[in-house]
């Protein structure tokens, strides 16, 4: 390995304003800042800076890393959005997606001006893949730009292949299964399970955004992926064989070793840590089902589906932690919980969290034996890192692709049986995608079936590989070194 100077290297990280981007990019910021003589600056908007600053403060207190934070105003009103709307979690409807993206694009000039004044001089930009205009900012400064991917190499390859197939023209009905060609493993999917279907059913006008991302990819130095080589080596190699530069540097969540980092990763937890840990400590090893569906962006789970989920967890006769997001806690749901005395009925074996859950802390507890997940990539990797088998409940975007990786390739999960993407925006109050019986059956399959031991063994192997990859000398740790080396080499060419 070549020896190089990292003195005065200054990495600029620009996350898209969404929890699924901010949280892993902040983990990457901590990993980079642990390297000697390397400064990291994160750029965001004032309201997002509140969460980011608390993460930086904890990191600086525990490891004395050099991470700075700079802000630029978010032009919400100029783009036609209400003032104070600076994160996808706050978007009121799919119609707000386009003006939100326009507002993000309007950050280009203020960030360009800011970077010209920063010292030490910026060495590179690592930005979310959905901020394609950062390529122009990097080009103006004559520094390399790297694409931070919040999805797996598997999903990237599958998505690109499906897009080239033009399924609208080549596949019949939405429910007709088809084999995706030229994949290292046989992958069978339907049109209704593709991200394109999400857009057709109300996910917002994203075609222009996707086109811009494709154009930016041609000018981007390479992809920084929150994954690790050993888990999806065939898919990393497939990208490399197509001439793409890929650095797998994850799972980045494993940088959170302190209990407080796990507890408040992303946001402050909605439950006292002592209550949560004492409850988990009281349960048998690998006995608890944990159900959580991430931030979901614009997605909202119907009231009927929330109720059906609770009944499925109750019918499983398993101890469980169930996280209900605040936007899903309608008056009807609260009334049902109260009038049906649901929490009393499951007292002693059911714990309900209203709001943000300390997911990394929960998944890493030895009492957790199964995870009901929407298959978002951050959640998937966190379960892999903890060695917890999954019950898959994809809802939209690339989540059906992640389900294929979990169930068909890695073989560490069981499907609930969802066949179509959830409608975005205004969801009917009685919309149900997974029934009580489906959920009960999937939980039983994960926790009690003959295949349980084999799934646990594979999940444990992946957990150990993930940990090894992030340790000194591991593949992800070395990839961070090689990424830094690539920046140095690019700067020498300027």
Q: Are 84 and 108 in contact (CB under 8 A)?
A: no
| Residue 57 belongs to some domain of the structure | yes
| Residue 179 belongs to some domain of the structure | no
Mean pLDDT computed over 291-312: 86
Split at pLDDT 50, 70, 90, the class of 436 is very high
| Residue 195 belongs to some domain of the structure | no
Split at pLDDT 50, 70, 90, the class of 422 is confident
Q: How many domains does the chain have?
A: 2
| Residue 300 belongs to some domain of the structure | yes
Range of the domain at 95: 9-151+210-254+472-493
| Residue 132 belongs to some domain of the structure | yes
Mean pLDDT computed over 146-165: 94
My answer on whether 117 and 236 are in the same domain is: yes
pTM score, two decimals? 0.93
Kindly report, residue by residue over 38-77, the tens digit of the pLDDT. 999 999 999 999 989 988 888 887 777 789 999 999 999 9
CB atoms within 10 A of CB 200: 14
Instruction: Indicate whether 196 pLDDT > 90.
Output: no
| Residue 432 belongs to some domain of the structure | yes
My answer on whether 294 and 220 are in the same domain is: no
| Residue 314 belongs to some domain of the structure | yes
My answer on whether 298 and 410 are in the same domain is: yes
My answer on whether 250 and 128 are in the same domain is: yes
Instruction: Indicate whether 418 pLDDT > 60.
Output: yes
My answer on whether 223 and 133 are in the same domain is: yes
Kindly report, residue by residue over 340-356, the tens digit of the pLDDT. 999 999 999 999 998 88
Split at pLDDT 50, 70, 90, the class of 455 is very high
Mean pLDDT computed over 406-418: 97
My answer on whether 285 and 306 are in the same domain is: yes
Mean pLDDT computed over 306-319: 97
My answer on whether 229 and 296 are in the same domain is: no
Task: State the pLDDT at residue 202.
Answer: 41
My answer on whether 217 and 328 are in the same domain is: no
My answer on whether 487 and 412 are in the same domain is: no
Task: State the pLDDT at residue 171.
Answer: 85
Instruction: Indicate whether 268 pLDDT > 80.
Output: no
My answer on whether 44 and 93 are in the same domain is: yes
Task: State the pLDDT at residue 201.
Answer: 40
Kindly report, residue by residue over 209-253, the tens digit of the pLDDT. 777 888 888 889 999 999 999 999 999 999 999 999 999 999 999
My answer on whether 476 and 459 are in the same domain is: no
My answer on whether 131 and 242 are in the same domain is: yes
Instruction: Indicate whether 423 pLDDT > 90.
Output: no
Task: State the pLDDT at residue 97.
Answer: 87
Give the CATH number for residue 437: 3.40.50.2000
- What proportion of the chain, given as a percentage, has pLDDT over 70? 91
| Residue 247 belongs to some domain of the structure | yes
Split at pLDDT 50, 70, 90, the class of 472 is very high
Q: Rank 59-68, 77-86, 187-196, 323-332 by mean pLDDT and report only the highest.
A: 77-86
């Amino acid at each position: 390995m070549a020896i190089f100077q990292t003195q005065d290297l200054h990495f600029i990280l620009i996350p898209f304003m969404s929890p699924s981007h901010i949280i892993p990019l902040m983990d990457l910021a901590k990993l980079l800042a642990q390297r000697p003589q390397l400064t990291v600056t994160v750029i965001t908007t004032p309201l997002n800076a509140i969460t980011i600053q608390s993460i930086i403060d904890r990191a600086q207190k525990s490891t004395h890393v050099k991470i700075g934070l700079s802000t630029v105003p978010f032009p919400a009103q100029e783009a036609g959005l209400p003032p104070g709307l600076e994160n996808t979690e706050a978007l009121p409807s799919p119609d707000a997606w386009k003006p939100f993206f326009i507002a993000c694009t309007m950050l280009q000039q203020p960030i360009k001006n800011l970077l010209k004044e920063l010292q030490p001089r910026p060495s590179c930009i690592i930005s979310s893949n959905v901020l394609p205009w950062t390529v122009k900012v990097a080009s103006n400064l004559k520094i390399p730009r790297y694409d931070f991917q919040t999805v797996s190499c598997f999903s990237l390859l599958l998505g690109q292949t499906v897009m080239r197939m033009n399924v609208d023209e080549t596949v019949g009905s939405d429910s007709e299964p088809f084999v995706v060609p030229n994949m290292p493993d046989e992958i069978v999917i339907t049109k209704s399970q593709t991200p394109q279907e999400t857009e057709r059913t109300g996910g917002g006008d994203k075609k222009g955004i996707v086109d811009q991302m494709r154009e930016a990819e041609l000018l981007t130095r390479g992809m920084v992926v929150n994954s690790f080589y050993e888990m999806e080596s065939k898919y990393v190699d497939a990208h490399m064989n197509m001439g793409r530069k890929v650095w797998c540097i994850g799972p980045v969540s494993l940088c959170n070793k302190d209990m407080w980092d796990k507890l408040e990763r992303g946001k402050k937890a909605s439950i006292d840590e002592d209550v949560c840990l004492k409850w988990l400590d009281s349960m048998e090893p690998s006995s608890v089902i944990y159900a959580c569906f991430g931030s979901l962006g614009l997605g909202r789970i119907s009231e009927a589906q929330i109720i059906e989920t609770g009944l499925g967890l109750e019918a499983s006769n398993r101890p469980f932690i169930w996280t209900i997001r605040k936007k899903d806690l309608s008056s009807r749901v609260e009334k049902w919980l109260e009038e049906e005395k649901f929490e009393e009925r499951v007292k002693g074996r059911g714990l309900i969290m209203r709001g943000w859950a300390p997911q990394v802390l929960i998944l890493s507890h030895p009492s957790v034996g199964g995870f009901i997940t929407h298959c978002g990539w951050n959640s998937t990797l966190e379960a892999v890192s903890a060695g917890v088998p999954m019950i898959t409940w994809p809802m939209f975007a690339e989540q059906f692709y992640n389900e294929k990786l979990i169930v068909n390739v890695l073989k560490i999960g069981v499907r609930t049986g969802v066949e179509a993407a959830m409608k975005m925006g205004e969801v009917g109050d009685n919309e149900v995608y997974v029934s009580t019986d489906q959920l009960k059956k999937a939980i039983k399959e994960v926790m009690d079936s003959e295949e349980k031991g084999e799934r646990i063994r594979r999940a444990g192997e992946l957990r150990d590989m993930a940990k090894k990859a992030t340790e000194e000398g591991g593949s992800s740790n070395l990839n961070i070194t090689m990424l830094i080396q690539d920046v140095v080499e690019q700067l020498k060419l300027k």
